[in-house]
Amino acid sequence: LHKTSPISVILVSSGSRGNKLLFRYPFQKVSESPSSLTAKQRNPYALNTTVDTLEDQDGDSRFSDIILATILATKSDMCGKKFELKIDNVRFVGHPTLLQHSPIMQVSKTDPSPKRELPTMILFNVVFALRANADPSVISCMHNLSRRIAIALQHEEHRCQYLTREAKLMLSVQDEITTMTDNGSPKSPFRQILPKCKLARDLKVAYDSLCTTGVVRLHINNWLEVSFCLPHKIHRIGGNYFPPEALEQSLKAIRPYHALLLLESEKALLSQLPLDCSPAMVRLIKTCSAVKNLQQLAQDADLALLQIFQIAAHLVYWGKAIIIYPLCENNVYMLSPHANICIYSSLAEEFSQQFPGNNLPCMLAKFSLPVSLAEFRNPLETPAQEAQLIQMVVWMLQHRLLIQLHTYVCLLVPPSEDEPGMKDEELPLAARVGSRSLSTPSALSFGSPTSSDDMTLTSPSMDNSSAELQPGGDSPLNKRMTETLLTSLSEYERQVILNIPAAQNPEDLRMFARLLHYFRGHHHLEEIMYNENMRRSQLKTLFDKFRSVLVVTNHEDPIISIFQSPME
């Protein structure tokens, strides 16, 4: 947990008054300031171990204000880029930003009167100190936040000199405190700055949020909003977090037949949205449901599928939703290997509160073996009880307790005893047709806005969809199509398949040939059903008829398994 939290936040500036440390939080523990070291008696025989013995795990309290100002207020040619500096076990990351000044601020050259020097700020840097072993993606995120705050501050500075005013306040408080401490014990000036400076309070809020929820929401100068989330804090299962790259990869691969499952109630979610959020987002949240796939959601919410993908990805990134396969009777669920099933967990408590009279461990035991929703429900129960059972399944999905299993099929022809050499050399069908493009458009293919309009209402079409093949047995056209489809097989494979009793039926053979490219273990039953507009029973019968050349297995969908199992 500590690896993803910052050690501190620091604001520095550089200008006509030199390099200044304006604010830092948390406040430095004053008793450990470096000056107290030199006061110790130096034993001439002792090894010069410097400050290693005083090294505390929370890195940066060893650094004085002055040195921080020197090293963090960079030269102007480092501005506008990511700033990264590592000193021993502390890593500083920021985005130094140049300020352009409006002509009003410049002192006129022709004015003969003694110039009242207006201290001008040339650049500033909002820096986060992190533990040196922080993950590169965490460092990247922190840099992002620093940059966003910098953009807001630059804007407000240009509009109304906000930063200059706040900086002036901060420095004057610091000056006050230093004159006071000549008499008494040193006090931290930053503590005194907090009540007087909104910017200081904003930085404190940013730091506190990063350490706790990972969600930052600031209003710079009570005007510009800066919002940010640290995915590492938000997406956690047990002690593990999802690396953002894995999350992004998953989001790019979602299909229209997937569904969006909200992790909070509609009401709670809507109340968290900012006032000026997009109406599309609101519509989506209101229309969203665990039984509706993204395509249906697009229709019901009257939005383009591309938009749905984008908003869904956004909600997932912010930890407000996950991607599942829409709930239906035939869905098969099993306990997730990462499910927290401890009887003392807070989950058990929550479950009992949500569903009084029900016990989470007992419910979980029911999913020890894969069970379909249809089996799970008891037809003798009242509709109200049935509805509650569905609610419980939804609850368990939201809390990452269940995974859904899908059926995958692979074509593997029994090797011939006569030609073992040849069999070993040839790659199985799956590897050979690997380059063939997938039939359902994934989120990636919705790159250009224009294509999305075509996709809203119709089912995605594909090269050899059922619409194209004419019904009616042995027509020469159909026969030729079947032959073409089987050409990707080797002669031997074709022979074996044609010798299967079921292959004597031209309808069955045609269906088999048409679906051939799905039989490489990467497309589950539901996907084939969706693309080909087929019923489950049709497919299952086909698999059974050709079972001598097909191998079937059940496991979770790797595209969305990240939401239940982060440790891939």
Burial (Cβ within 10 Å: 0-12, 13-18, ≥19) of residue 202: buried
Q: Smallest distance, Å, CB 199 to other proteins?
A: 26
Residue 337 sits in the site that holds other proteins (CB under 8 A): yes
Residue 414: partners with Cβ closer than 8 Å, 6 or more residues away: 496, 548, 549
Residue 1 sits in the site that holds other proteins (CB under 8 A): no
Binding mask 9-38 for other proteins (x = CB under 8 A): -------------------------x----
Q: Smallest distance, Å, CB 474 to other proteins?
A: 32
Q: Smallest distance, Å, CB 495 to other proteins?
A: 16
364-398 burial by CB neighbour count: b if 16+ within 10 A, else e? beebeeeeebeebbeeeeeeeeeeebeebbbbbbb
Residue 168 sits in the site that holds other proteins (CB under 8 A): no
Member of 27, 58, 87, 217 binding other proteins (CB under 8 A):
87
Residue 253 sits in the site that holds other proteins (CB under 8 A): no
* CB count in 10 Å sphere of residue 97: 21
Member of 142, 364, 485, 511 binding other proteins (CB under 8 A):
364
Residue 368 sits in the site that holds other proteins (CB under 8 A): yes
Residue 365 sits in the site that holds other proteins (CB under 8 A): yes
CA–CA dist 244, 249 (Å, integer): 9
Q: Which of 51, 567, 519, 350 shows the shortest CA–CA distance to 363?
A: 350
Residue 122 sits in the site that holds other proteins (CB under 8 A): no
Member of 344, 357, 448, 463 binding other proteins (CB under 8 A):
344
CA–CA dist 421, 223 (Å, integer): 74
Residue 336 sits in the site that holds other proteins (CB under 8 A): yes
CA dihedral 105, 107, 108, 112 (to 10 degrees): 150
Residue 552 sits in the site that holds other proteins (CB under 8 A): yes
Is the Cβ of residue 78 or residue 98 nearer to other proteins in the bound state? Answer: 78
* CB count in 10 Å sphere of residue 511: 23
CA–CA dist 373, 332 (Å, integer): 6
Is the Cβ of residue 224 or residue 341 nearer to other proteins in the bound state? Answer: 341
Sign, Cα dihedral of 302, 307, 309, 315? negative
Beta bridge partners of 130: 91
Q: Which of 364, 260, 361 shows the shortest CA–CA distance to 320?
A: 260
Is the Cβ of residue 39 or residue 343 nearer to other proteins in the bound state? Answer: 343
Member of 270, 389, 390, 410 binding other proteins (CB under 8 A):
410
Is the Cβ of residue 49 or residue 113 nearer to other proteins in the bound state? Answer: 49
Residue 45 sits in the site that holds other proteins (CB under 8 A): no
Is the Cβ of residue 211 or residue 552 nearer to other proteins in the bound state? Answer: 552
- HSE, CB side, 13 Å, CA atoms: give it for residue 145: 28
CA 471, 474, 479 angle in degrees (round to 5)? 95
Whether residue 62 contacts residue 34, with contact meaning beta carbons closer than 8 Å, is answered with: yes
Residue 554 sits in the site that holds other proteins (CB under 8 A): yes
Residue 74 sits in the site that holds other proteins (CB under 8 A): yes
Sign, Cα dihedral of 233, 236, 241, 246? negative
* CB count in 10 Å sphere of residue 197: 22
Q: Smallest distance, Å, CB 18 to other proteins?
A: 13
Residue 377 sits in the site that holds other proteins (CB under 8 A): no
Which residues, 389 to 408, sit near other proteins by CB under 8 A? 408
Which residues, 494 to 523, sit near other proteins by CB under 8 A? 520-522
Binding site for other proteins (CB under 8 A): 34, 50, 63-64, 67, 70-71, 74-75, 77-78, 82-88, 334-337, 339, 341-344, 359, 361-362, 364-365, 367-370, 408, 410, 412-415, 420, 423-424, 427-428, 430-431, 434, 520-522, 551-558, 561
